[in-house]
Structures are given as structure tokens and as C-alpha cells.
């Protein structure tokens, strides 16, 4: 699923339930918590490779029925929670489909090696000068 492709709105279904937390009587009487559900196994928007990747990477969030569920209950409005749940679902799928770039192996330049060896030779000369002269020479 490329960056320009998204989950079709027709494949996402929503469930509204009562929300916990603040909101007073409004929250107690209205179903403002929204759960966005998307059936990954039966989606036409995915290639087989993308489907496998999502099922593997989001296995803990996908039920036995193959449905990915994302809930939102941050706002007091059901409409706003629906938008939040949809956005979270899309972000989650995009993150699961993201393939990290392969790391290129790099080697330190030869100049670094030369500098290190030269520094060692300098230290060697300094330490040699500290010793008393060898009588055999």
C-alpha cells in the first residue's frame, strides 16, 4: 500500500459505544466512543504481500476474524472520535507497511587508520626517550 493509496472508506465500519471518563451526563447518555474496524483478510485494497505484512506486524491488534480494531474516546463528540479512529487506523496501517531502508555497510577511511598508527608511533618515541640509554648500544 503506497503512500498515495489509502483504505477505502467503504471497507471501514464503525461501532459506537458509551465512553468512560469526563463529560458528565452527556458522556453517560450518548455513545461517543467510536471503534473503527477494518477486515484485513477480505480487503481488496491490499496486495497479497501487503496483507501478509500487516497480519504479521499487527498480529496483536487483529482478532481471529481478521478484523483490525482501533478505538477513540478522546473527544466528547462522536463525529470527532470517528475521525480520530479513522486517522489512527490509517496511521497504524501505514506504519505496518513501511519497509525500513537497508543499512549500507561503510568502512572507515584509510586516513583514519594512518592517523591512528602515526599517533601510536609518536607515543612510542616519547616513551622511548624517557628510558635511560641502553649500555649495550
The rounded mean pLDDT for the chain is 88
Work out whether strand 12-17 and strand 67-72 pair parallel, antiparallel, or are unpaired.
unpaired
In the numeric block, which cell numbers belong to residue 127?
616513551
pLDDT of residue 117: 97
Give the span between the Cα atoms of 78 and 18, in whole angstroms.
10
Mean pLDDT, residues 28-49: 88
Give the span between the Cα atoms of 1 and 46, in whole angstroms.
6
Mean pLDDT, residues 79-90: 93
Is residue 123 very low, low, confident or very high in pLDDT (cuts 50, 70, 90)?
very high
Give the span between the Cα atoms of 80 and 125, in whole angstroms.
74
Mean pLDDT, residues 126-135: 88
pLDDT of residue 30: 82
* Integer angstrom CA distances of residue 118 from 17, 42, 121, 130: 72, 65, 5, 19
Question: What domains are there in the chain, each with its CATH number?
Answer: 9-97 (3.30.160.20)
Nearest to 70 by CA among 79, 80, 81: 81
* Integer angstrom CA distances of residue 54 from 1, 6, 13, 59, 97: 10, 14, 18, 8, 7
1 pLDDT exceeds 60? no
Mean pLDDT, residues 103-128: 95
Amino acid at each position: 500500500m503506497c503512500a498515495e493509496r489509502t483504505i477505502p472508506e467503504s471497507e471501514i465500519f464503525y461501532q459506537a459505544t458509551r465512553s468512560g471518563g469526563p463529560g458528565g451526563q452527556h458522556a453517560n447518555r450518548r455513545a461517543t466512543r467510536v471503534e473503527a474496524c477494518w477486515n484485513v483478510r477480505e480487503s481488496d485494497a491490499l496486495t497479497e504481500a501487503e496483507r501478509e505484512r500487516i497480519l504479521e506486524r499487527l498480529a496483536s491488534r487483529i482478532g481471529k476474524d481478521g478484523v483490525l480494531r482501533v478505538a477513540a474516546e478522546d473527544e466528547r463528540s462522536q463525529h470527532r472520535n470517528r475521525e480520530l479512529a479513522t486517522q489512527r487506523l490509517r496511521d497504524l496501517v501505514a506504519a505496518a507497511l513501511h519497509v525500513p531502508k537497508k543499512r549500507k555497510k561503510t568502512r572507515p577511511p584509510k586516513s583514519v587508520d594512518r592517523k591512528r598508527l602515526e599517533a601510536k608511533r609518536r607515543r612510542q618515541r616519547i616513551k622511548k626517550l624517557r628510558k635511560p640509554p641502553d649500555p649495550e648500544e
